[in-house]
Amino acid sequence: MSECRKYRIEGRVQGVWFRESTRQEAERLGLSGYAMNCADGSVEVLACGDAKSLERLAGWLREGPRLARVDAVQALPYAGEPPDGFTTC
């Protein structure tokens, strides 16, 4: 059964390969969705897949790639249709 979660990641998360690293991790976990920069300097991630993989991604988002500094991760509800594949915007 597939479910979707949307995350907002705050900190030094733009310009540090956060979106691309998230895409790679999500694909490794078999998730679909996207990662995109927001105007306020945060990153938004939509991830869809099984609950165990979503939990693993959430843990990874709390750390991010080596150059990132994650200050906060918010999980937000998402009731839309799961997208195909994982993209960066």
The Cα–Cα gap between 89 and 71 comes to 22
28 flagged as catalytic: no
Burial of 16 (0-12, 13-18, 19+ CB in 10 A): middle
Question: Which of 73, 86, 78, 77 is CA-nearest to residue 13?
Answer: 73
CB atoms within 10 A of CB 82: 15
Overall number of domains in the chain: 1
Domain of 68, CATH number, reads 3.30.70.100
62 flagged as catalytic: no
Task: Report pLDDT for 47.
Answer: 97
Domain boundaries, position 55: 3-81
pLDDT digits (tens, 9 = 90+) for 2-56: 899 999 999 999 999 999 999 999 999 999 999 999 999 999 999 999 999 999 9
Check if the beta carbon of residue 73 is closer than 8 Å to that of residue 65: no
Residue 87 lies in a domain: no
**Catalytic annotation, pick one of 5, 8, 12, 19:** 19
**Catalytic annotation, pick one of 8, 12, 37, 56:** 37
Residue 89 lies in a domain: no
pTM (2 d.p.): 0.95
The Cα–Cα gap between 82 and 45 comes to 13
Per-residue pLDDT for 1 more than 70? no
